[in-house]
Structure 1
């Protein structure tokens, strides 16, 4: 694998720093507890009031803590396992590494731009930066022509393309449905609370939705790069949707009203993503020279 040493160092740094940051987010305490806050738009918001996320709303804090749990219990172990197998020359390991790094990139980009300022701001920025460069280096290490030969004819291109089109369209419509009324009525979007703008919606509409559609189109056209994107996106979806499912559960437990569509869409998509991930891992054929370390 090209740039193996650089990717390994970045992955180790991400694992250590993310584990520490997630643990602090989960277990930190102290603070006045829940209390009301009036936003610049005159809206009453209940702040979490405890620990690292004490300045975030109850809804946002519940989501952040739930994602920290997924990062600590799933994301970090996956990153460690994937880098170990990738260093051994495993194609599955390299693909899993790319998908896991995409999860960390999205996670800490959202933390850097969404969460209220806290003591881990620089850690979140560092994790976002390291994840970005490790992800780019990993993606650049793939030979798409060789990859198409190793994935084989059993790759479920059409089902995955349909799934990604459905997922991208559903997320797009869900967020546009949230944003459009505020644009038409010149009002504050629901759920903005004390935050300045809709960061997650901007990230999803600007990156996740287009990437889902682009990947689906490339898969339907049997483009070799589509095989790479399709595999990585499915692996990233499995981890990110797990975090989103955990966020839904965290919000419900915190007493936050969650739309029924969200309660159904994310867990269902999460289950489907894991099914596709399992199928993908079975269809991938390891290269004949597996075991030799690339320069």
Structure 2
């Protein structure tokens, strides 16, 4: 790879750092009425550049780490250049030239400074959302895999459950949210049920299809051993299905997190979706953008889980 690609990233990074600390005005001012409703806010928010500069340094270090780890240098450099280019353009429009709307296009210093001023609220939101997501996964994923393995192996169970699953799986689980929220005793129980419905039916069908695609010789060999139904499911089918289940976790996690955020926007009093919806109601788009960035970070961290599981749990694959 040509050195020019590396230098493009480094030059954009250096330009961004210069723009951050050379900006003539670092204050992110919102109307007093908007700030009054913000937890921990004030009538005048002064944005410190340290958080934004730290984020830029983190991106630069991540780029260098990816290159050192042997990632595709051309792709890494192109992505780095695009990210820094977007940040430079945002800084120029919103801060250096002051062309952006002060509410709809806040300075990036103000957006990233929200991680400092509202860090505790964000951490509580992450804890609330992750707890709900874990509860939904703990019920839906094992249930869908075990039920799908049995339905894929047992012809009668297949004939009963698969037609129902094919009707239910295409229906977005968030459609049920208004009714589920109304009938469930708490919002957290309702949100967990939405996640369970969103995970169960697609994962059930995927498991059934994987079992049906299994090499018939494996099934015949297991049948010749005289295994019972439960032994067939837990000793043969589930170990064979595990690599495919782990590989599909990336999509399942992203989908379930999207359902969670949407459910939290409907009636929660905590969580990442609530964080975004609450500040959007008061037109505080500085905090809304910070919440969107936070959700993106959390989702990307969760996307690393399948790779870790493949590396440490199913080494025999």
TM range (shorter): 0.3 to 0.5
More contact order relative to length (CA 8 Å, sep ≥ 6): 1
- Please, what TM-score do these two structures have when normalized by structure 1? 0.33
User: Whose helix proportion is higher, 1 or 2?
Assistant: 2
- Please, what TM-score do these two structures have when normalized by structure 2? 0.31
